[in-house]
Amino acid sequence: MALETGTIPGPCGRRAPGRSADCAPGPDIPRKQGGTVNNARSQSAGYTAGIEPVRESGVAAGWAPARVAADAVRPADERACAVLQVSGLSTVYPTTRGDVQAVRGVDLTLGEGDVLAIVGESGCGKSACLLSIMRLVPHPGRIVAGSIMFVGRDLMSLSAREMREVRGRDIAMVFQDPMTTLNPAFRVGDQIAESLRVHGFLPGLPASLTRRSRVRQREMVIELMRQVGIPSPETRHLEYPHQFSGGMQQRVLIATALACRPKILLADEPTTALDVTIQAQVLDLMREINETTGTAIVLVTHDLAIAAEFCREVAVMYAGQIVEQGPIDAVLEDPVHPYTRGLLRSIPRLGERKPLTPIMGEVPDLAALGPGCSFAPRCDVRRPCCDISQPELVAVDGRRLVRCHARRD
């Protein structure tokens, strides 16, 4: 059953594009200039809903930094309609030198249909933040503080079995490297169908062995592959991952993530190692999904140009913390935090022959952080208080949040 592409009223007086009447409504999604989407395909895009799924009937206390809620600058009605609220999320990895503080007091609020970018240099905690939200932190890492509220449900209080029901069905993730994510021993069609089967959209054994079930599975997989733009899905669903290009493998991952119509899609650098043309196609596909279904997207990327083109809000991370967050245009046009300004100064610009200005110094050791600001040793506006106390995340100009002692008042 394909979803309709009309709009229906949502809570708080907003409207949800591409949602059917039995789906949770959400906000209007204004389209950002500069992208190209196949409008004919957008009008016909929708998810295949199989049979109705059959549902099967503690975090250790630890260190948590001083913080201000990330939704401090959001109107009350938007906070009430949030599908995801992350508060004070902290994740550590024990080592012989002490705990590596990979994620430190992260606050995020994501409304239905929102598109948020998380940017920052390698090792700043972007991927660790997404894995923490999914509760997939690899051993020996652990979440030591914080809450993750999904439509009013605290994911941190769920058992491992209950959390498995959420993953893929309500919150899906596209991992960074499709070659290491896809199983080379199984056909791509079977890997897409596995998500449908796990969450009850397809019957399990022995019912899945019947001819009717196999035909139904094939139809659903082919439709999902067609929706993400994979050509000739009638034959390609029988192929193996090595027979697909990098861009096509990424589309397979997206089809797998979207199989159960999740409310949130977490994309961990989905365009890494892809050429520019394939990058544009993948981003257009994700934009189309967002516009036609209202699925909220969190995009992790190193590329500020991709963030500016695709996202409407950005969170800049450094040393496991969000140091600046706000509308993408405001942050990129008039950055407040010294780290954000440093990132923008290090980007080459077409037509300019000026030397690039790198950020001096090195990324701090997350296992040996001092009491002050983590960016202080590399900061060009450093003050004496920066070495003594950790700055809090505070609202600036009513549009964004900044963690800096030298912020503008």
Residues of the chain with pLDDT under 50: 1-70, 72, 76-77, 80, 409
Asked: is 76-174+303-360 a CATH 2.60.40.10 domain? The reply is no
- Kindly state the helix (H) or strand (E) to which residue 77 belongs, with its residue range: helix 76-80
pLDDT at 74: 53
User: Considering the chain, what is the average pLDDT of its residues?
Assistant: 80
Interhelix angle 188-198/211-227, rounded to 10 degrees, is: 110
Interatomic CA distance for residues 143 and 63, integer angstroms = 10
Alpha helix ranges (H) inside 159-312: 160-166, 178-181, 188-198, 211-227, 233-236, 246-258, 276-293, 304-310
Interatomic CA distance for residues 183 and 125, integer angstroms = 26
pTM beyond cutoff 0.85:
no
Which amino acid is residue 348, in one-letter code?
A: P
- pLDDT tens digits along 128-139: 999 999 999 999
- pLDDT tens digits along 162-205: 999 999 899 999 988 888 889 999 999 999 998 888 887 777 66
CB count in 10 Å sphere of residue 348: 9
Interatomic CA distance for residues 11 and 15, integer angstroms = 8
In terms of C-beta density within 10 A (0-12 exposed, 13-18 middle, 19 or more buried), how is residue 75 classed?
Answer: exposed
The tokens for 238 are 């029988």
Q: Domain boundaries in the chain?
A: 7-54+180-265+278-298, 76-174+303-360
Interatomic CA distance for residues 310 and 285, integer angstroms = 11
Q: Which residues contact 126 (CB under 8 A, 6 or more apart)?
A: 118, 119, 120, 268, 300, 317
